[in-house]
Each structure stands twice: as C-alpha cells, then as structure tokens.
Structure 1
Amino acid sequence: MSAFSNLLIPAVLFFALGFVARLIKSDLRFPPDLAKILSIYLLVSIGLHGGVELAKADLGEAVAAVVWALLLGLLLPIIGFGLLLATRRVGPLDAAAIAAHYGSVSAGTFLTAIAFLGSQGIEYERYPLIMLAIMESPAIVVGLLLASWSRGRIAKTAPERGTPRADHGNGHLGDILREAFTNGSVVLLIGSMLIGAIANPKAMESLHPFTTDIFMGMLCLFLLEMGLEAGRRFADFRRVGWALVTFGLAMPLIGGAIGVLVGDLMLGFSVGGTTLVGVLGASASYIAVPPAMRLAVPEANPSFYLTLSLGVTFPFNVVVGIPIYHQLAQMLAGGA
C-alpha cells in the first residue's frame, strides 16, 4: 500500500488535474508566457542545486562516479532512441524528446529508493547523489543532438516542388553540436550548475528559498500546464499507445540492469549504492527534461514523453522496479 501512496504526491496529482481538465473540456488555460517562465525557473533551480551538491563532494574520490554518470547520461538516450525508431510508431523528433527523458533521472524515484533502503536498514554510498546531479545535463544534450540530426534528415527528404532537398553543406555535425551546446536550456542548466559549484557557500544559502522552498510549488504549476497540453494531444498517444507503453516498461528494465552492472562492476559499490545506480539508470525525468524539450523541441508531442515518464515508468519503478534492481544488486554481490 505504501508503494502506491508514493504516487499521491502533489506534483503527479497536478499533472493529473491538468490532464483531466483538458479531457472534460474545461476552460482552464495558462497565459502564453507563463509556461516558459516556469521552465526557466526549474532549469535554473535544478542547476544551482546540482552545483551545490557537486561542490560538497571530494572530486578526487568522486571522479569515477562522475565519469560513469556522464557515460550513462550519454548512452541511455541513444539506446532509447534506437528502440523507439524500431517501433516505427513515432517520428524521430518525438523519439529524440522521449529518449532524452530516459537518459536523465527522476529525483522522486531516487528518493523513493532511498526510503526503500532506509526501511530495510541498508546503507549506501553518497556518490549516487553526485551522479543524480550530473546526469541531468548529458541526456538533454544528447536529446538535442538527436533532434537536430532528425531535423536535418527530415529537411533532406522533404519534397520541395517535387524534388528532394539538397544537402546544404559540410560541417553539419559541427552545426548540430553548436546548436546543442548553445541551446538556451543547456546553457541555463550547465551555467547554473557551475554557478552553484563555484559560488560562496554562505552566499548560496540566501538562495535557499528560491531553490528549495518554492520549488515544489513551481513544479506543480509547471506540471499542471503540461497536463493540460498532454490532455490536448492525448488522442495522438492513444494512436501509438501500445508501442509506447511497452517501451515505458522495457526501457527502465534495460537502464536499470545497465546501472546495476555499472554500480557493482565498475564502481564497486555496496548493495545499497549499486541499487541506487540501478535506479538512476532506470528512471525517467519528469522535472528537468520536460521544460528543456518544451523550449528546444516544440515539435515533439508532450503527451508522449510526459504520459510515459509520469504515467507509465514512474509508477512501474516505484511499485515494481526498485525491488527488482535491489534484487539484481544482491545477486551480483552474492556472485562476487
């Protein structure tokens, strides 16, 4: 029963409220610029918080965890993108936006896993907390790279007066990289993380109300707006629902297994620490990545990535996934 109660958090319920409001054709609407303001706030707040956590760590000891966090954040979206394209049910831009969510992390799922370990008296290393902060950005960058590559492919094959468009130039990869790393979402997230890491700790304390006290309230408003948007485009999800639901259940198992292997074999963590790395690999972001994709890939359908991350993968991980990743960690530790 406690597992299901983890779904009854205000952020998830506000997403459900927006979704239902649109389905019943309520006149509830957000001012056009408010969603962008909320997106900017969330990215800045997450970046600052991650930078503060990074500053607290002993980077000499944490370097392996940081490297593997980066690798997971880069690898998992590529796996997800390939699987989504293989379904032939969503376009490449939707696949890129969805894949970015599955390379990033869910703080809610991570905190639930910590509560799970605490309830059983299982200790864990602090380095997965650093990995949590690190894994937000790489997946967003990869998602933007995949989206930019997809736009290029679409442009080349789109008919223009009955003929395919020509390839407009060399250095296309360089253009894609520049677009990804100069994208406003990435600049905000990475820049805020650097500020949080190098700023005077006492000065950062004055931002505590901004980064912590009002964060959940702002997240609730953002997810309310995203619920409205997802409800508006829900018919698209129903059209390809079976394929996406299958992905939303299979991808966390794939990512969780990879995370457990990294935690045990590559980082040498305890069962508790390995479980948390597995959870990081398995979770799908519904906080950092949605505002980034909303700003940078407006062509992508929010009902796809939000319904998957919040409506499929999050409850699956909370109810079923976390015990599975813990069991895998125990099996690896027992075989060591």
Structure 2
Amino acid sequence: MEIIMDIGTTVLSQLQKPTLSFLIGGMMLAALGSKFEIPPPVYKFIVILLLLKVGLGAGMSVRDADLIALAVPAVAAAVAGVAIVALGTRTLARLNGVSKMDGMATAGLFGAVSASTLAAAMAMLDADGIAYEGFIGALYPFMDIAALVTAVVLGRMSAERATAQGTNASGTVTMGGGAGGPGLNMNSELVRGILVDTLRSPAISALLLGLALGIFAKPDSVYESFYDPLFRGLLSILMLIMGMEAWSRLSELRKVAHAYVLYGLTAPLIHGLIGFGLGLVAHHLTGFSAGGVILLAVMAASSSDISGPPTMRAALPEANPSAYVGSSTGLGTPVAILSIPLWVWLANLVIGI
C-alpha cells in the first residue's frame, strides 16, 4: 500500500509540472472543441530548435566523454530499438484483425524515438535536479535508426515472400532468390535506401547537425545565450500542440482493430521496462547514471512522432497510417510522457537518486 501511495504522490507531483500540465491542457482544448491553433510552420520550427539544442548539448558533452562510457549505452539503445520491433512483429502483427504490414509499421514507430518526449523527460529531470550524462541526446539516432530499419526491412521481406508465394502458385517465380541472388541484392539496396532517407529526415538531420557542431565547433556561447534559455518555453508550446494532436488522432483508431488500442496503452510500459533493464546493464558495466537509465527507458517507451511516419509512408506504402500514426500519436505518446514519473520512481527504488 505504501508503494502505491508513493507512486501516486510522485505521479501527482509530476502532473503539476509544466511539461505534463501543458500536454493535458492541449488534450482538454481539443476535447472541448476549441478553435485554438498553432500554425504547422511554427510547430516545425519549434521541433527543429529543440532538436538542435539537444544535439548541440550532446555534442559538447561527447567532446569530453569517455568513449567506452558512451559506447555501452549506444549499443543498449540500438538493441532496445531492434528488440521492440521484434516483439511487435511477434505480438501485434500476429493478432486477428491486424495486417502484418500494419503491425510492422506500428512496431517500427513504437521502436523509434520521440524527440519531444525525450526533451520533456530531460526538462523534468533538470527541474528535479536529477543528473544525467550530457551525451544522452547522441543515443537518439542509435535507437531510432535501428528500429526503423528493422521494421521496414522485415516489412519489405514479408511483402516479397507473399508476392513470391503468389507467383509460385501460378507457376512463375519472379521474386526472392538464393544466397547472393537478386533477393539479397534487393534487401541490401533497401537497407541502404532506408538509412539514407532516415539520415536525411528533418529530425535526424537537425539532431546530427547539432551533434557535429557541438563536437567539432565551439557553439558554447550561442547555446548558453539562445538555445538553452528558450528550451523550456518552446517545449511547453510543443506539449500543448502534442496534446491537441493526440486527442484528434484518437478518432482514427475507430477505423482499425481494437488491438491497436490495447497495444498503444500497454506497449510504452513494456518497452520502457526493456529500456530500463538495458540501462541497468549499462549502469553496472560503466556506471551509467540513474538519470541516464531513466532517459533510456523514456526513449524506449516513446514512439516516433517526427522521423517515423514519413519513413513508413515512403518505405511501407501498403500500411495504413490510421493504424500506426493513430496508435502512436493518439495513445502511445501520451502514455509514454505520463509514464516518466514511473521510471523516476523505479530508478530511485533500484539505484537510488
């Protein structure tokens, strides 16, 4: 009973923080049918500024970081991305009423990272005085790219197998191939194309640019005078937008199987536990901080709201956006953000903050 009270007190105190309160405020505005609107160009501008800030901060920290201390969490992030997609293809993609392609696209989005959720978690830890490694932002691409590539490759291979089976039934084989054959070449070209498209996406591009500038340039003055002071204010506006977007996306889930509702509500918690567990491994191997473990759990619990949807639309056009975007933005993102206090409490219980 004491543990439940402890969790409840932690969650209540976090809900009163600007990050979560603005998210809930946005959902309330949308639920009440408010005409309040922030133009899409402003939203994109805010996202780019936030990602540049995260990238710059991570890059400046990487300059002085121990490469071993960075390498272990980076591997953990990539493993988490692949594991989440693999779990989704074994669960959601096999449920009745869920097409395999829709399930894989959804698993890909849930395996990738929400930059806004990560930024929200960093702001909450800063407000609570919980320390974490400055290079955390550099872990974003490892999990994001690993998840998106895994989901799209599995999706395309499944489509090729289905096509091959269909043509075999009619007596003609046009797809696939043995080791070293055309099927293998097609898959390698597919992976290369996905990597290029993902790296060129606005979110990853902004993050990697900030990372590179932080490592190879000296942006400390502009970071401290411009990006850092604006961070929390811009984040509150972004949370407001995300709350309104999440509520509007809920209507899209009516068009698809109820399995997506269950997945959207439970997957962030399961994925967060995967990230938390891998973070604990890094903690014991390299002294990865409790704050770092929390943020790795948050990244795993989050679902991509920027780089993922356009990647899936381009690489898996057969998949239904109402399924993967609706379950991700409509349910996954709010659950991931609202679960941040849970990871804080768990880290305090297991590691101590």
1:29-108 superposed matches below 5 A? 29-55=37-63, 57=64, 59=65, 62-88=66-92, 91-101=103-113, 106-108=118-120
1:34 & 1:286 partners in 2: Cα distance?
26
The residue that corresponds to 1:14 in the other structure is: 22
Structure 2: runs of 5 or more not aligned? 1-8, 96-101, 169-173, 177-181, 314-320
Q: What SS does the corresponding residue of 1:135 show, helix, strand or coil?
A: helix
The residue that corresponds to 2:209 in the other structure is: 191
CA drift of 1:40 comes to 2.6
Q: Is 1:311–2:334 an aligned residue pair?
A: yes
CA drift of 1:137 comes to 1.7
1:146 & 1:254 partners in 2: Cα distance?
17
Structure 1: runs of 5 or more not aligned? 119-123, 331-336
The residue that corresponds to 1:200 in the other structure is: 218
Post-superposition Cα deviations, 1:55-109, rounded to whole Å, max 9, x if no partner, equal 3x2x4xx111111121011010111112222332662112101111389983544
CA drift of 1:17 comes to 3.1
Q: What SS does the corresponding residue of 2:282 show, helix, strand or coil?
A: helix
CA drift of 1:310 comes to 4.5
The farther-off stretch of 164-173 and 210-219 is 164-173
User: Are residues 67 and 46 of structure 1, via their aligned partners in 2, closer, same or farther at CA, if it must alter by over 3 Å?
Assistant: same
Q: Which amino acid aligns with 1:254?
A: I
Q: Is 1:137–2:154 an aligned residue pair?
A: no
User: Are residues 157 and 37 of structure 1, via their aligned partners in 2, closer, same or farther at CA, if it must alter by over 3 Å?
Assistant: farther
1:214 & 1:103 partners in 2: Cα distance?
16
CA drift of 1:260 comes to 1.2
Q: Answer yes or no: is the 8 Å Cα contact 1:102–1:285 preserved in 2.
A: no
The residue that corresponds to 2:234 in the other structure is: 218
Q: Answer yes or no: is the 8 Å Cα contact 1:104–1:283 preserved in 2.
A: no
Post-superposition Cα deviations, 1:236-271, rounded to whole Å, max 9, x if no partner, equal 55732223322222222232122112211x21x2xx
1:154 & 1:21 partners in 2: Cα distance?
41
The residue that corresponds to 2:345 in the other structure is: 323
Percent of matched pairs sharing the same residue: 19
1:295 & 1:72 partners in 2: Cα distance?
25
- Out of 246, 261, 268, the position equivalent to 1:241 is 261
Q: Which amino acid aligns with 1:183?
A: R
Q: Answer yes or no: is the 8 Å Cα contact 2:268–2:301 preserved in 1.
A: no
CA drift of 1:43 comes to 2.2
Post-superposition Cα deviations, 1:128-182, rounded to whole Å, max 9, x if no partner, equal 51441321221121233134325534754788xx979956862432442343243
User: Are residues 138 and 191 of structure 1, via their aligned partners in 2, closer, same or farther at CA, if it must alter by over 3 Å?
Assistant: same
Structural RMSD (CA): 3.7
1:39 & 1:103 partners in 2: Cα distance?
8
The residue that corresponds to 2:307 in the other structure is: 292
The residue that corresponds to 2:270 in the other structure is: 250
2:21 & 2:329 partners in 1: Cα distance?
13
Q: Answer yes or no: is the 8 Å Cα contact 2:104–2:154 preserved in 1.
A: yes
What TM-score, normalized to structure 2?
0.72
Q: Which amino acid aligns with 2:61?
A: E
User: Are residues 288 and 17 of structure 1, via their aligned partners in 2, closer, same or farther at CA, if it must alter by over 3 Å?
Assistant: same
The residue that corresponds to 1:278 in the other structure is: 293
Q: Is 1:263–2:280 an aligned residue pair?
A: no
**Aligned residue pairs, count:** 309
Post-superposition Cα deviations, 1:285-329, rounded to whole Å, max 9, x if no partner, equal 7999533335544547444334555432343341x4333334334
User: Are residues 301 and 211 of structure 1, via their aligned partners in 2, closer, same or farther at CA, if it must alter by over 3 Å?
Assistant: farther
1:289 & 1:113 partners in 2: Cα distance?
21
Q: Answer yes or no: is the 8 Å Cα contact 1:65–1:131 preserved in 2.
A: no
CA drift of 1:18 comes to 3.0
Q: Answer yes or no: is the 8 Å Cα contact 1:249–1:316 preserved in 2.
A: yes
1:111 & 1:150 partners in 2: Cα distance?
35
CA drift of 1:48 comes to 1.6
Q: Answer yes or no: is the 8 Å Cα contact 1:249–1:313 preserved in 2.
A: yes
Q: What SS does the corresponding residue of 2:39 show, helix, strand or coil?
A: coil
